[in-house]
Amino acid sequence: MAQPLVMGASSQRTLCHMNHLVKKCDMCHPRLSQGRPTACAEACPTGATLSGDWDEMLREARKRLAEKPKEYYPLIYGRKEAGGSAVLMLSAVPFDKIGLK
């Protein structure tokens, strides 16, 4: 089964393991300003979570859809939904099946 593509999640909350506090995700701004990927993208063992600028992530999503069309539902979620999003996702199933509209 194809791995989903997820880029960004600025409204998600993350657990800081150093002090056990939940805080709003800042998209690893200090890491990005150093040219490094987000911690989530760096830690993802499958390459399913990526970080980069929106156009770069859109190109990657389109590439994955073109290369493996039978493995993905033919929609890049977040491109137009809710007026566009900082998060782009691919899925093997329709997005309404995983609770997204």
Per-residue pLDDT reduced to its tens digit, 9-63: 444 444 455 566 666 778 888 888 899 988 889 998 988 889 888 899 999 999 9
The CATH fold of domain 6-98 = Alpha-Beta Plaits (3.30.70)
Q: What are phi and psi of 64, to 5 degrees?
A: -65, -40
Q: How many CB atoms lie within 10 A of CB 57?
A: 22
Q: What are phi and psi of 23, to 5 degrees?
A: -140, 160
Q: What is the pLDDT of residue 68?
A: 95
Q: If DSSP states are collapsed to H, E and C, what string results for 52-73?
A: CCHHHHHHHHHHHHHHCCCCCC
Per-residue pLDDT reduced to its tens digit, 55-92: 999 999 999 999 999 999 999 999 998 788 888 999 99
Contacts of 88 (CB under 8 A, 6+ apart): 5, 6, 7, 8, 54, 57, 58, 61, 76, 77, 78, 79
